[in-house]
Each structure stands twice: as C-alpha cells, then as structure tokens.
Amino acid sequence: MHAPAPAAPSPLRLLVVDDDRRAASNRAQWLCSLGHHASAAGSAAEAVQALGRAACDVVVLDGALPDAGRVAAAAGSGAGIVVLASGRGRSGPAGDAHVPTPVRDADVLAAIERARVAATARSRTSTAAGIPILGSHPAIRRVLDLVDRVAATPATVLVTGESGTGKSLLAREIHRQSGRAGRFVEVACGALSETLLESELFGHVAGAFTGATADRAGRFLQADGGTIFLDEIATASPALQVKLLRVLQEMAFEPVGGGRTHTVDARVILATHESLERLVAAGSFRADLFWRINVVTLEMPPLRSRPSDIPLLAAHFLAAAAAKAGRRVEGFTPAALEALVSHGWPGNVRELEHAVSRAAFLGRGPVVDVCDLPPTVGGGLPPDRAGGHDATSASALKAAMAVPERQLILEALERSGWRRDAAARALGINRTTLYKKAKRLGMNLAALREAPGRQ
C-alpha cells in the first residue's frame, strides 16, 4: 500500500517501468492519485514504444530491469530518470536520482522532484545554447528567415511537413527566439484518446471521470507565459476542435468537469503532416479553426529536397552518437557518404539520425562504412562500390554531390536576378570561383538564364 499524499502542485507526465507489471501498475495508479498523469510499462520494449508516442517528464525505472539503459536513452535529455533499487544485484543505469532499498513513498516523490529539476536544467542549458537546426540549403534558410521574423510576434504558427522533418525542433526554435519567459510545453495529440487529450490540454477536477481522484492542471495552464506546441493537430476530434477554437480566440477554457474559467497567455504553435486543406474539403476539419490557425505557415522541407545538407547533418549526428557510444569515429568512407546522399530518406532527418546512430553503435572501424549503415540505406549500391575505399567511390561521391551544388548555384542566381556578383556573395564565394564551379559542373549560365523555366 502506498501512503496518501496531498495533490501534487505541479502535475507531471510520468512513466513507471518495471518487469513486474503489477508493481508498475500499482505505482502508476498511486502517482495518478496524487494528481500526476502516470502510465505503466512492463518491459523495456514497451517503455520505448510509449516514449516514442508521447513526451514524458520523468521515467521511474526498476534498477534491475533488463535493458534499462535502452529506456533511459529513449527518454532523451528532456526527461528525468529515477532509478529504484531492487535488491536483485543490479545497479541499474545512470539516473538523475536513485532510491535505495527499502523503497519508501516519500523517497520516490523526492527523487521524482530531483529528476524533474535536473531535466529542466538540461532543457534550459540546451535552450540557452540554441537548438541546432542545421543546413545551408536555400529551402531550410527560407524557413529560418521566416522564424526570425515571426518569433517575437504573438502570431499563431502552423508548421507543416512530412514526418521526421523536424517540426518539433522548429517549434522549440520559435519559442527560443520569442523571448517568452514561460515553459515550452509539447503535446502529442495523436498519442491520446479524445477524453485523455481534453484532460491533458485543459486539466480536470476531482471526480470528473473514473480515476480522477484529484484536481489536475492541464498543459495550457502549464504553458502560461510560454509556448504550447500541439503536434499532429489533424487528429483532434470535431468536439475538441470546437474547444480549441474558443481557446485560440479567447485564451480561456474550463477544466474537464469544472466550472471555473482559466485564462492564459500562451503562444500557440501547431503542427501536422497532413493537408488540412484536404481535411477541410472532406469535412473532417473545421474551416473556421483552419483559418484561425493558418496565420503563419512554415513548411519544413523533406530531406530529399536538400541533399547538400546531408553530409553536415550526418556529421553532427555521428559526433553525438559516438560520444554516447564512448568510441572515436572520425567520419564516413566515400561510399558510405555516397549512400547517405543518394538515399531517398522517407523518414527524413529522423531516419538519417537513426541510421547514423546505428552505424556509430554497431560499427567497429574508425570510420563509418556502407556495411555499418542499415540495409535500406546502403543496400542500393552496386557490390563494386560497397567497400567504399577506392577511387571509383570517390568519383561517384563527387558526381552525387554535383547535383545539390548545381542546384545551389541555380537558386542563388534566381534569387539575385541572375546578377552573378550578387549570387557569388550569397554563396560565400567570389565571382571567379563561381565561374570555375559552373564550368566544372558543365553549366552554361547564359543559356540557363534564357532557358524555359530557367532549369
């Protein structure tokens, strides 16, 4: 039995992980009774899936859980980690707070608070240092230019783009540049049922539904003075869309089961990978809500449209993954880099990060080779280019990189009205270098300027 306690002043989203599922469920139910939103997982695999569906403030881990380190890695730096000693001879993964045996309720609550504070400090450090949205391709530069112009305004922002393009990262960058003192609060709308999502957003009062044993503040209230990011807004039900419309118009709402109206000052950013225009036409998304949120729209480009950024992104992800793996990895072979540039990346930047991380974790050499990459990425290269160390691979890499380099030059010329000196300055080179590059790439600039569509 867990000791009763007063309702938590700052409700958290918690995940309790224990291979004794009954123990995990009991502890999660107890934390819910204190006002937190807690769920349980009975294995590392189940916990990783849960963390992939929704963000979490603190993970409470059984120290003897097999693959506990995998859960901690999946939680990321934004979540606090509490490790509960089990007495089963395993020390468990490194965490922000540890609870010794015998595990007491007061110690668990104190550890959760310490872990929350540690995670918040990491988040603030990351935000203060700037969130890296890497790339020099004109497609991503245009997006970042719009962020510079809109961040300090109160405008609602809709971020569109395919899954994995970095919509959440862009929302955090907007918050960072906004100068708002409050929290950045992210809600994965697609991961929760309609009832849970309404409670998550607006909170609830005790007795509002089965299991609601205490008042709980919602995410809008937590974002007061800051920014709330509603990811996958297209999944919101028609009833919830009506309530969201009112919140966006008045910044006022009532918790589930309550009559008291709360007002907040929160910047709202929304994201979707679906076409809201098509959903409006189909009648599944309210037209008035669409026009309300479609104030400023930022479209994150797919990775395949900016291949020249892939080497930079890959190098960034490799350095981070190698540091986690505790090994030195100096870079990529020419064939491996060619495979990365040539891949279509249906999962976009997220898929690239996972592919590079896998190579850093599983590779054995000082550089990443094609064989270290996932088969879906490196499997398309002919066998004679799979080794990656010969002159043929280097030549093929140059050919692959010529495509984005040519596109960069064309786009710079288009933006500058085909004034070659201005295009050269935009590319960070001099006019002579521009001519040399164009000649090497077989580009007849005069003919291209007069060509239909200038392509």
The mean pLDDT of the chain is 81
Same-domain status, 250 and 143: yes
pLDDT of 287 strictly over 90: yes
Of 28-37, 179-188, 226-235, 318-327, where does the model show the most confidence? 226-235
Stronger pLDDT, 412 or 183, i.e. the higher one: 183
Q: What is the pLDDT of residue 54?
A: 67
Q: What is the pLDDT of residue 137?
A: 87
Is the residue at 224 inside a domain? Answer: yes
Query: Of 280, 301, 322, which closes a domain?
Result: 301
CATH code for the domain of 261: 3.40.50.300
Taking only the tens place, the pLDDT of each residue in 81-128 is 888 876 655 555 667 888 888 888 888 998 898 888 877 665 544 444
Taking only the tens place, the pLDDT of each residue in 302-335 is 999 999 889 888 988 888 888 888 888 888 998 8
For residues 53-66, give the mean pLDDT.
Answer: 82
pLDDT of 447 strictly over 80: no
Same-domain status, 140 and 256: yes
Closest CA to 105 of 8, 231, 210, 246: 8
For residues 51-64, give the mean pLDDT.
Answer: 80
Is the residue at 4 inside a domain? Answer: no
Is the residue at 34 inside a domain? Answer: yes
Name the percent of the chain lying above pLDDT 70: 82
Query: Of 301, 335, 370, which closes a domain?
Result: 301
pLDDT of 59 strictly over 50: yes
Stronger pLDDT, 419 or 406, i.e. the higher one: 419
93-102, 164-173, 278-287 — which is least confidently predicted?
93-102
pLDDT of 131 strictly over 90: no
Residue type at 397 in one-letter notation: L
- Which residues span the domain enclosing 400? 304-455
Count of domains for the chain? 3
Is the residue at 342 inside a domain? Answer: yes
Beta-ladder partners of 17: 41, 61
Q: What DSSP string describes 40-54?
A: EESSHHHHHHHHHHS
Stronger pLDDT, 353 or 135, i.e. the higher one: 353
Q: How far is CA 115 from the centre of its chain?
A: 21
72-76, 170-174, 344-348, 349-353 — which is least confidently predicted?
72-76
Whether 225 and 177 have beta carbons less than 8 Å apart is answered as no
Is the residue at 2 inside a domain? Answer: no
CA distance to 80, 119, 339, 421, per residue, from 16 (Å): 12, 17, 40, 60
